């Protein structure tokens, strides 16, 4: 899973949850799915971020707090993928007819 909530929320002792998007070992890539290479995630194979499955997770459910920071560019891509899950006007170069 990838925690996508702001650090202000993540680190606050008053907030009991974080926002996450799941990682999967299968795609396909699309409007709300982004493939990440193993070097970026630390996992042995490619991972797929599924922006259409954003969830709230209680902090107590986090087993380990291994922090791996993605680049600002990559995080913007992920935020746009999440936005595409509810905003039909969100940009996407893969749209038909464009």
Domains of the chain: 2-84 (2.30.30.110)
Q: How far apart are CA 1 and CA 67, in angstroms?
A: 11
pLDDT of residue 5 exceeding 90: yes
Beta bridge partners of residue 55, listed in sequence order:
20
pLDDT over 90 percentage in the chain:
66
Q: Which pLDDT tens digit goes with each residue over 9-57? A: 999 999 999 999 999 998 887 899 999 999 898 889 999 999 999 999 9
C-alpha distances (whole Å) from 70 to each of 16, 22, 45, 80, 98 are: 23, 15, 17, 15, 29
Mean pLDDT of 85-92: 87
Please say whether the beta carbons of 29 and 48 come within 8 A.
yes
- Confidence band (pLDDT; 50, 70, 90) for 96? very low
pTM for the model stands at: 0.82
Q: Report the chain's terminal Cα–Cα distance, integer Å.
A: 32
């Amino acid at each position: 899973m990838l925690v996508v909530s702001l650090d202000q929320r993540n680190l606050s002792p008053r907030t009991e949850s974080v926002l996450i998007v799941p990682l999967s070992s299968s795609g396909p890539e699309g409007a709300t799915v982004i493939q990440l290479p193993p070097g970026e995630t630390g996992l042995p194979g490619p991972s797929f971020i599924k922006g259409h499955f954003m969830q709230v997770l209680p902090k107590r459910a986090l087993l380990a707090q291994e922090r791996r920071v993605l680049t600002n560019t990559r995080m913007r891509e992920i935020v746009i993928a999440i936005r595409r899950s509810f905003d039909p006007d969100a940009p996407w170069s893969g749209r038909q007819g464009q």
